[in-house]
Amino acid sequence: MATLNLDTLTAAFADIETITDPAQVAKLSQDYHTFSPVLVPKLAGKVGDIVVRPANEAEVIKVAATCAKLRIPVTVRGAGTGNYGQCVPMHGGVILDMTKMHEILWVKPAVARVEAGVKLAALDKKAREIGWEMRMAPSTYRTATIGGFIAGGSGGIGSIQYGLLGDRGNLLGLRVVTLEDEPRIIELRGDDVQKVNHAWGINGIITRLELPLAPAYPWAEVIVTFDDFMTAAKFGYALGIADGMMKKLISVFASPIPQYFHALHEYIPQGKHPAFLMVAEPSLEFLPGLVQQYGGEITYQKPAQDAGKGTHLAEFTWNHTTLHARIVDSSITYLQSIFPPDASLQLVEHLYHHFGDEVMMHLEFFRVRGAVIAGALQLVRYTTEERLNEIIRYHEAQGVMIANPHTYIIEDGGRKVIDPEQLKFKEMVDPYGLMNPGKSKVLEFHNNS
Amino acid sequence: MATLNLDTLTAAFADIETITDPAQVAKLSQDYHTFSPVLVPKLAGKVGDIVVRPANEAEVIKVAATCAKLRIPVTVRGAGTGNYGQCVPMHGGVILDMTKMHEILWVKPAVARVEAGVKLAALDKKAREIGWEMRMAPSTYRTATIGGFIAGGSGGIGSIQYGLLGDRGNLLGLRVVTLEDEPRIIELRGDDVQKVNHAWGINGIITRLELPLAPAYPWAEVIVTFDDFMTAAKFGYALGIADGMMKKLISVFASPIPQYFHALHEYIPQGKHPAFLMVAEPSLEFLPGLVQQYGGEITYQKPAQDAGKGTHLAEFTWNHTTLHARIVDSSITYLQSIFPPDASLQLVEHLYHHFGDEVMMHLEFFRVRGAVIAGALQLVRYTTEERLNEIIRYHEAQGVMIANPHTYIIEDGGRKVIDPEQLKFKEMVDPYGLMNPGKSKVLEFHNNS
C-alpha cells in the first residue's frame, strides 16, 4: 500500500460521508471477535485509516475507483455483528460502512430485493406486511445487515426449515462493485451467487441482494423444561423431524447455561434443561403431546400477537447465548460444531458427559442436506489457547465438524478452503487484492510501498 | 343385520336425497380397487342397498340414528377415488355419499375448515385467493374429497415438503357423527385427531375437517430426462434434499413407463428416464445447475401462470401413473413401497435391476420422519396372485416396506395393525360395528338377522 495520505483521501471522497475521528474509526474497525480470547490479542490495534459511508451505488463506485487507483485496502462492514474478525482491517485503509444503503428496493410474495445495508429486522417488518419474512436470520437480526449476513453468516433462526445460507436457492441474486481501476457493476444470479456468497467481503463490494422469502407464520415462543439434558436434546430432535409441524427455532441448553439468562429465570427452575422454541400457531396444538411424550413441561408461552413485546426468546439463542453468558462471565468463550446426522444423538451424549462443566452444551437443530442435525455452540470455560485447541481436536477426532471461531484465517474456519470458483472470481473483481486483505493463506497482501 | 326393508328406509330418509336405482347404487358401491386384479374377484358383486346423500349434518345425524336403530351397515364415501376397496360395502346397507356436503366453512392464512365432501381442488382454488393451498394432495385432487383423503389417503403431491397425512400437525381437527342410538357430534383436535385420521371410515362419520395450509408458491412444472434410470433417481433425491429449493413434486419414472403418457411423448424421447417436478418459481433458477450436475436435460417447462391450462404433470404421478398405464395395458397392476432412508439408493438400484421389465420402477420422493426417502408405486406386469405375492415378499425381505394395495383387510395393508386408540374410539362411536364392516380381522361383523 502506498503511504496513505488522509488529505488525499478525504479530498477524493469529498462528496461522500467520511469519519476520521480516531475513536470512531477504531470502533468501526471492530466486530464481535471479542467473543474469542484467542482472536483478541491477534487483532489488537488493527484499525482502519478512514471510514467511508456511501449513500448509494454511485458513491461506492467512486470509493472503489479511488481505492483501486491508490491501492488502498478496503474492509467492508455492515453492523459488525460477526464473530470472526472479518470486519477488522489487517492493513488499515478504508473501512467501507454500508449501513447508509438501506433501501428495500421491492418486496413481492416469496422474493425481496434490498440494498446491502438493510437490517434484517427492517426487511422482515416490510415483508410481513404482505405475509412473508426472511427464511433465516442470525440472533443479531435487529442490528445485523443483510449484506453482512450473506458475506459472513451461515444460517440461524429458520434454518430448521430452510437449511443454510449456502444451500442452493437461499440467495437468489446479488450485485457487486469491483475493485478495478474502472469499477464495474456485476450482477450474479442462480448458482453464480456462490462466487460471492459467504466470501467474507473479499469478492467485490455487495451493493444489492435478492432473497427468497418464507411464509410469515404466526410464531409462538415457547420454553419447555426437562429434568435431563439428553431427554431435552431428543425432544428437540423429535420436533425437528416432525414434518407436519412448522417451526423456526429449536434450541436446547444444558444446565447451568440458563443461569446466564436473567430475564428468563422465573421460567427455568434451577438445574432444569430447557428447549427454546418458535412454533407456528397452527402447529401449537400438537406441542403438548410431544412434550408429554418426553416428560417435559411447558413453562412459558408467548402468542404470536405479542411477538413485538417483551422478551424475545430468539435473542437468547445461537450466538446470543454466548453473548449473555459473557455478560455474566467474560472468561467464557465458545465453539461452533456440526454433529453428524444421528437420530440417537450418541455423539452429543458422549461429549456432553466427556467435558462436563468445562464445555456446556448448547444445541441448535437445523437442516443439512435434507436431514435434521444437531449443531452446537458450546460454551467453553476458557483457560488457555492450548486447552481450547485440545478440546477442538478431541471433537474433530470424534467426527464433529468444528467451524472454528477462534481464527480470522478463512481456511482455518468453517469451510477449510476457499472455493476455486470464488478465487477465480476474486482475480477478476479484485485484481490488486485490496479487499479484506490478510485474512487468507492463499491470498497474500503485498504492501507495495 | 336385520333384513333390509327398502321401503322402511326410504320412509325414514324421506327428506333426504336417496338413490335406489340399482345401476346407480352399484356404481356408487365401487372405487378404484379395480387397479388390483386380486381385489376385483374378491369384491365382485358387493353392492349397497341404498345410497343416501345428506346435505348437512342434521341429515347425517338422522341417517346415523336410523342405521343404528335398524343395525344397518354404513359405508361412507367421498368421490370413491381410493384404490383399496374401502368404499365397497361388504355387507350391503347404506352407502353414505358425502359429496353434497361441500361447503368451505372458512379459509384463513395457514388454516381452513371444510365440510367432508369438499373437493381438494375446490379448497385449493379458494385458499389460493389469499395465498395458501393444501399442504398435500393425491393425484386425484380434481375429484377426490377431503373427507375421503383423510379417511383413506396417506400423502401425495406436497409430501416432499410436509411429510405424510398421519404426521403430527397435518390435520388440525375433525368432527364426526357417531353411529349410536342417539348419535352425537364429537369434535377432535390436536393429537386426538389420530383416532379418526386414516381410519378407513370405521370410526364415525366425518362431517367437518380443519386443515393446515401451505403457502401457495407459484409452481412451475418441469420434465427433466436422463439416459440412465439411477442417475434420474439420484437427481430426484438431490433435489429432495436441497433445503433451499421449494418443491411440491419429485416423481421419477424408469423407461418404458413414459410410453403410457401419450400427452407427453414429445417431451420424453424413447428410452429416456424422466423426472416430473413441481418447483417454486423463486427456486427455478437453481434447477439448471442441478440438472447439469446429473447430466439431465430439461425438455419441458410450464410456468406457474399457465398452471390452469393444458396438461397437468401432477396427473401423471402417484397413482395416476398406474391409471395411465392401465388405460394402455389393463394387465398392469402396481405396488406401494417405502424404501429405507439411504442417500445412495442402493436398494432401489438392486430392485430396479432384479425384476427388470416385470416391475417397472416409479419413484415418488417424500419426507418420512424428517428424512427424504424414496417411495415407489412400481408398475407390475401381472401374471398370477402367487407371483405378485412372491414379488411383494422379495421386496419385504430386502427391507422395503410394502403398503399392500391388493387387500381390503386393514391389517394386511400399510399399517399392519389398527391403532389401539382407534379401536377404543371405535367401541364408543360405533357400538354396533356398523361402519364399513368386514374390512378388519379384529372387527368381525355379525349379521344379527
How far is the alpha carbon of A99 from chain B, nearest alpha carbon, in Å?
27
Which has more confidence, A440 or B232? Answer: B232
Question: Residue B408: pLDDT band by 50, 70, 90 thresholds?
Answer: very high
State the pLDDT at residue B50: 96
Does the pLDDT of residue B2 top 70, yes or no? Answer: no
Pairwise CB contact (< 8 Å): A244 & B371: no
* In A258-416, beta strands by DSSP E: 273-280, 297-302, 332-334, 337-338, 359-360, 362-368, 371-376, 379-381, 401-402
Interface of A with B (CB under 8 A): 109-111, 131, 135, 161-164, 167-170, 172, 189-191, 212, 214-215, 217-218, 240-246, 280-283, 285-286, 288-290, 367-372
Q: With the CA atoms of A265, A266, A269 and A271 taken in that order, what torsion angle do they form, in degrees rounded to the nearest 10?
A: 0
Q: With the CA atoms of B89, B90, B92 and B94 taken in that order, what torsion angle do they form, in degrees rounded to the nearest 10?
A: -30
Cis, peptide link before residue A340, omega less than 30° from 0: no
CA distances from A115 to A100, A106, A147, A157 (A): 9, 10, 8, 22
Question: Residue B445: pLDDT band by 50, 70, 90 thresholds?
Answer: low
8 A C-beta contact, residue B331 and residue B381: yes
Chain B residue numbers with beta carbons less than 8 Å from the beta carbon of A246 are 169, 212
Q: Provide DSSP, B182-200.
A: S--EEEEEGGGGGGTTT-T
Q: What is the ipTM of this complex?
A: 0.95
Does the pLDDT of residue B298 top 80, yes or no? Answer: yes
Mean of the pLDDT values across residues B129-157?
Answer: 97
Q: To which residue does cell 385420521 refer?
A: B197
Pairwise CB contact (< 8 Å): A243 & B190: no
State the pLDDT at residue A83: 92
Chain B residue numbers with beta carbons less than 8 Å from the beta carbon of A211 are none
Question: Residue A449: pLDDT band by 50, 70, 90 thresholds?
Answer: very low
Chain A residue numbers with beta carbons less than 8 Å from the beta carbon of B154 are none
Question: Residue B354: pLDDT band by 50, 70, 90 thresholds?
Answer: very high
Question: Residue B5: pLDDT band by 50, 70, 90 thresholds?
Answer: confident
Query: Which of B110, B172, B372 is facing A217, going by the closest CB pair?
Result: B110
8 A C-beta contact, residue A101 and residue A117: yes
Query: Which of A169, A281, A368 is facing B245, going by the closest CB pair?
Result: A169
User: For the segment B18-60, what is each residue's pLDDT rounded down to a tens digit?
Assistant: 999 999 999 999 999 999 999 999 999 999 999 999 999 999 9
With H, G, I as helix, E, B as strand and everything else as coil, classify residue A361.
coil
How far is the alpha carbon of A169 from chain B, nearest alpha carbon, in Å?
5
How far is the alpha carbon of B54 from chain A, nearest alpha carbon, in Å?
30
User: For the segment B192-226, what is each residue's pLDDT rounded down to a tens digit?
Assistant: 999 999 999 999 999 999 999 999 999 999 999 99
State the pLDDT at residue A412: 85
Q: To which residue does cell 346435505 refer?
A: B55
Chain B residue numbers with beta carbons less than 8 Å from the beta carbon of A243 are 161-164, 167, 170, 367-370
The residue type found at A191 is D
State the pLDDT at residue A1: 45
Mean of the pLDDT values across residues A28-35?
Answer: 96
**Which of A106, A193, A243 is the best substitution to test chain B (most B C-beta atoms within 10 A)?**
A243
CA distances from B223 to A346, B23, B278, B290, B299 (A): 41, 41, 9, 13, 6
Pairwise CB contact (< 8 Å): A283 & B246: no
To the nearest whole percent, how much of chain B has pLDDT over 70? Answer: 98
Q: In angstroms, rounded to a whole number, what is the distance separating the alpha carbons of residues B278 and B271? A: 23
Determine the residue of chain A that is closest to B171 in CA distance: A244
Does the pTM exceed 0.80? yes
To the nearest whole percent, how much of chain B has pLDDT over 90? Answer: 91
Query: Which of B169, B215, B281 is facing A244, going by the closest CB pair?
Result: B169
Query: Which of B111, B168, B368 is facing A286, going by the closest CB pair?
Result: B168
To the nearest whole percent, how much of chain A has pLDDT over 90? Answer: 91
How far is the alpha carbon of A63 from chain B, nearest alpha carbon, in Å?
32
How far is the alpha carbon of A188 from chain B, nearest alpha carbon, in Å?
12
The residue type found at A11 is A
Q: In what order do the strands lie in the sheet with B332-334?
A: B332-334, B379-381, B359-360
The residue type found at A429 is V
| Residue-averaged pLDDT of chain A | 95
| Residue-averaged pLDDT of chain B | 95
3-state SS string over A41-83? HHHCCCCCCEEEECCCHHHHHHHHHHHHHHCCCEEEECCCCCC
How far is the alpha carbon of A348 from chain B, nearest alpha carbon, in Å?
19
Does the pLDDT of residue B74 top 80, yes or no? Answer: yes
Q: In angstroms, rounded to a whole number, what is the distance separating the alpha carbons of residues B54 and B57? A: 7
Query: Which of A167, A281, A286 is facing B190, going by the closest CB pair?
Result: A286
What does chain B come to in residues? 449
Q: How far apart are the first and last CA of chain B?
A: 5
**Which of A130, A168, A209, A213 is the best substitution to test chain B (most B C-beta atoms within 10 A)?**
A168
Which has more confidence, A81 or B416? Answer: A81
State the pLDDT at residue A442: 83
Does the pLDDT of residue B236 top 70, yes or no? Answer: yes
Chain B residue numbers with beta carbons less than 8 Å from the beta carbon of A245 are 167-169
8 A C-beta contact, residue B48 and residue B75: yes
* Residues 6 or more apart in contact with residue A335 via CB below 8 angstroms: A359, A376, A377, A378, A380, A391, A392, A395, A402, A404, A405
Mean of the pLDDT values across residues A388-409?
Answer: 96
Pairwise CB contact (< 8 Å): A369 & B241: yes
Q: In angstroms, rounded to a whole number, what is the distance separating the alpha carbons of residues A120 and A118? A: 6
Pairwise CB contact (< 8 Å): A283 & B241: no
CA distances from B149 to B92, B336, B362, B363, B410 (A): 23, 17, 22, 21, 16
Pair type for strands A219-226 and A173-177: unpaired
Chain B residue numbers with beta carbons less than 8 Å from the beta carbon of A214 are 215
Helix, strand, coil % (nearest 5) of chain B?
35, 25, 40
How many residue pairs bridge chain A and chain B with CB atoms within 8 Å of each other?
127
User: For the segment A265-310, what is each residue's pLDDT rounded down to a tens digit?
Assistant: 999 999 999 999 999 999 999 999 999 999 999 999 999 999 989 9
Pairwise CB contact (< 8 Å): B371 & A369: no
* Residues 6 or more apart in contact with residue A299 via CB below 8 angstroms: A223, A224, A225, A267, A268, A269, A274
Instruction: Give strand pairing partners of B134.
Output: B213
State the pLDDT at residue B366: 98
Q: To which residue does cell 429449536 refer?
A: A250
How far is the alpha carbon of B330 from chain A, nearest alpha carbon, in Å?
37
| Segment (H or E) for A281 | helix A281-284
Q: Provide DSSP, B217-276.
A: --EEEEEEEESSHHHHHHHHHHHHT-TTS-EEEEEEE-TTGGGG-GGGGGGS-TT-EEEE
Helix, strand, coil % (nearest 5) of chain A?
35, 25, 40
Pairwise CB contact (< 8 Å): B285 & A189: yes
8 A C-beta contact, residue A276 and residue A263: no
8 A C-beta contact, residue A86 and residue A439: yes
Mean of the pLDDT values across residues B269-284?
Answer: 98
3-state SS string over A207-228? EEEEEEEEECCCEEEEEEEECC
Q: Give just the sign of the alpha carbon dihedral B386, B392, B396, B397.
A: positive
Q: Which domains does chain B have, with CATH numbers?
A: 6-97 (3.30.43.10), 104-215 (3.30.465.10), 219-402 (3.40.462.40)
Pairwise CB contact (< 8 Å): A283 & B212: yes
User: For the segment A314-366, what is each residue's pLDDT rounded down to a tens digit?
Assistant: 999 999 999 999 999 999 999 999 999 999 999 999 999 999 999 999 999 99
DSSP letter, residue A387: H
Record the cell numbers describing residue A439, joined without a space: 485474512
How far is the alpha carbon of A377 from chain B, nearest alpha carbon, in Å?
22
Pairwise CB contact (< 8 Å): B240 & A370: yes
Pairwise CB contact (< 8 Å): B242 & A285: no
Pairwise CB contact (< 8 Å): A169 & B131: no
Chain A residue numbers with beta carbons less than 8 Å from the beta carbon of B112 are none
